[in-house]
Structure 1
Amino acid sequence: MPLLPSIPYPPSKDGYWDPVTSTLNWCEEDYYATIYSAEIVNTLTNLLFMLLGVKGILSCRRNGHDTIFQVAYYGYLLVGTGSFLFHSTLKYPMQLVDELSMIYTTCLMCYASFSYSRSTTYRILLGVSLTSLAIFITLYYHYLQNPVFHQNAYALLTAIVLIRSMYTMEVRLRPSWRLSTEENRRARERQGLPVISKERQHYENVRDLKILKTMWHMVGYGLAVFLGGFAIWNVDNYFCSTIRVWRREIGLPWGILLEGHGWWHLMTGTGAYHYIVWGIWLRHCLNNRQEEYYLRWSHFWSIPEVVQTSIKSTANGSAKKTL
């Protein structure tokens, strides 16, 4: 007798979207819950992508973030929508929408990372190069129909973007990478720029160190969640037959907790969302707008957002935020 009340898994049945034409079929059994969704848990967990994608788009519009990040959120929303349709139907065209939108969104973030403060010519060349790369991956993947190629391409692009963003964050925000206060003053004098006071420079150094610490917490948390989802996904793939037996032994609804690919959606969706928020905050800091925006992230389990804040000058020349 099971320890918890449960109902047995219904048998799989013919589905509305039959036959399966995708090159991948995950560990969740097909059409056991409804004939209208091949993999019901893998389908519904994509609602997180869709909700966070809409939230991100609205946040960009409300807070005046750079357009590239709003486009990235549209890509993020497309990833969730494509995955929703793919797992509902297990059709090859929907598989392409799901997987290739991941490549396109990562290329957008790559453009955001490498185009900052570059000349117009450089940005055009970068945009053409990334577009060409996305087209190549699309055509070659369609030719190969090998998921390993897509997974490796996505992993490589993601690693490049992350490493570049972390390098930029450290070099531009950590005070020890900057000129000393006196060197900075002399450099600004030579350029005919206003010279800030030592007190103001100290304030900015303390401020940026605090921002940098929070950013690293966000990066670490996002990576841990993302890689944790990747690990669960691999366990789900390697031990699928055993996990299917366990699910049927414990019954519904508890068997849902053993749907590893569903956890992959929830965890990678969370990690990817944190990365875009980090990119937005980093861009504002690179633009020296730390006083105009702040990160609203009260707990690790809450949804972060970069929001505008009003500024009031204080007597010592520093800035005070009014939330």
Structure 2
Amino acid sequence: MGMIILDTARNATAYFWGERTSTIDWCEENYVVSDYIAEFWNCLTNGMFVILAAFGIVNAIKHQQGKRVVTLYMGLLFVGCGSACFHATLKYTTQLLDELPMLYLCALGFYSLVEIDRAINFGWKLPVALIALQTAITVTYIFWVQSPVFHQAAFATTVCASVAFGYRRQCEMTISNRTRRMLQRLLLQGFLGMAGGFFVWNLDNIFCHRLRTYRSHVGAPLDAILQLHGWWHILTAYGSTYLLLWVHLTKLARQGHDHLFTIRHFAGLIPYITLKSPKKID
């Protein structure tokens, strides 16, 4: 659900990136903070995706936690970078760089949950099926149904299917109470992050004109606190990270490595899985 709003703060011909071609224009006033970034705060807050993903990649490589884990974090990094490009330019091409990687990351997570064992159970059939499905969604979205609602429905369906399948996997496994509590906590934190982000995202859409009025009253820099789409980025970055950790932890538990891992937070803010006895798990 995107807000398409007429921004009158700057003339369209004066925009650094030219006239907006995206099908969505969010509540943040365009080119007010910077002459070179259309939506400054919406662009900047994607840094949370980059930080969490980059830390996850470094940690996964350091502890040799597997190519799939590294790939998932790379997908999260690409989501953040694509979203930053979109909000910086408000072009249709960069809008696709924001929206489509979200679907592909969910598909990667679903694949990791299905092929959770060391042995590959479905061979080439599952990746081909997932690629075909994502290709169909992509082509439909670009050429036929260019509505953000279509993308949002496809994304929500993919997330729900992945979480439902992963939770089923978790219930099937024989694991210690400690591991089960950790998995449940990660899933809850992921859900709260995504749900909280969705909540403020809707507030930003519904009460945009009122929020703009409030921001004009408080002025800089406090007005940044009322950029609710930026909070959507921060909350969903955390929610996505916790869900990726949940996928990773489910895989480790499935393979019987409960006694080798623990969850820590760097600087109290960045969650990650580290193995007590580093060992390659792929």
TM-score normalised according to structure 1 size: 0.79
CA distance in 2: counterparts of 1:120 and 1:284, whole angstroms: 16
Judge conservation of contact 1:113–1:164 (CA < 8 Å) in 2: yes
What's the counterpart of residue 89 of structure 2? 89
What's the counterpart of residue 48 of structure 2? 48
Query: In the alignment, which of 157, 180, 197 is matched to residue 229 of structure 1?
Result: 197
What's the counterpart of residue 140 of structure 1? 140
CA distance in 2: counterparts of 1:310 and 1:57, whole angstroms: 19
Q: CA deviation at 1:12?
A: 3.7
1:220 is aligned to 2:220:
no
CA distance in 2: counterparts of 1:119 and 1:308, whole angstroms: 22
CA distance in 1: counterparts of 2:165 and 2:10, whole angstroms: 46
What's the counterpart of residue 306 of structure 1? 273
Q: CA deviation at 1:242?
A: 1.1
1:162 is aligned to 2:129:
no
1:115 to 1:261, Cα distance in 2 relative to 1, 3 A: same
CA distance in 1: counterparts of 2:77 and 2:118, whole angstroms: 28
> 4+ residue stretches of structure 1 with deviation over 6 A?
none
1:58-207 alignment, distance < 5 Å: 58-117=58-117, 120=120, 122-143=122-143, 144-174=145-175
Judge conservation of contact 2:115–2:121 (CA < 8 Å) in 1: no
CA distance in 2: counterparts of 1:281 and 1:120, whole angstroms: 18
Q: CA deviation at 1:77?
A: 0.6
Q: CA deviation at 1:279?
A: 1.3
Q: CA deviation at 1:297?
A: 4.3
CA distance in 2: counterparts of 1:164 and 1:76, whole angstroms: 20
Higher mean displacement: 219-228 or 125-134: 219-228
Judge conservation of contact 1:86–1:94 (CA < 8 Å) in 2: yes
What's the counterpart of residue 210 of structure 1? 178
What residue identity is the alignment partner of 1:265?
H
Query: In the alignment, which of 274, 280, 283 is matched to residue 248 of structure 2?
Result: 280
Q: CA deviation at 1:304?
A: 1.7
SS in 1 for 2:122: helix
Q: CA deviation at 1:118?
A: 8.3
Structure 2 residues without counterparts, runs of 5 or longer: 1-7
1:60 to 1:310, Cα distance in 2 relative to 1, 3 A: closer
Q: CA deviation at 1:159?
A: 0.5
Judge conservation of contact 1:173–1:209 (CA < 8 Å) in 2: no
TM-score normalised according to structure 2 size: 0.90
CA distance in 2: counterparts of 1:303 and 1:268, whole angstroms: 14
What residue identity is the alignment partner of 2:235?
M
Judge conservation of contact 1:173–1:212 (CA < 8 Å) in 2: no
What's the counterpart of residue 21 of structure 1? 21
Q: CA deviation at 1:120?
A: 4.2
If asked which structure has higher relative contact order (CA below 8 Å, sep 6+), I would say 2
1:82-138 deviation line (CA, Å, top 9, x unaligned): 001100000111000110000111110010011223864613111001000111111
CA distance in 2: counterparts of 1:246 and 1:113, whole angstroms: 45
SS in 2 for 1:122: coil
What's the counterpart of residue 270 of structure 1? 238
1:295 is aligned to 2:232:
no
1:237-252 alignment, distance < 5 Å: 237-252=205-220
Judge conservation of contact 1:31–1:39 (CA < 8 Å) in 2: yes
Judge conservation of contact 2:186–2:242 (CA < 8 Å) in 1: yes
SS in 2 for 1:295: strand
* Percent identical: 32
What residue identity is the alignment partner of 1:309?
K
Q: CA deviation at 1:145?
A: 1.2
CA distance in 1: counterparts of 2:258 and 2:99, whole angstroms: 36
CA distance in 2: counterparts of 1:168 and 1:146, whole angstroms: 34
CA distance in 1: counterparts of 2:217 and 2:174, whole angstroms: 53
1:198-223 deviation line (CA, Å, top 9, x unaligned): xxxxxxxxxx1012112212211221
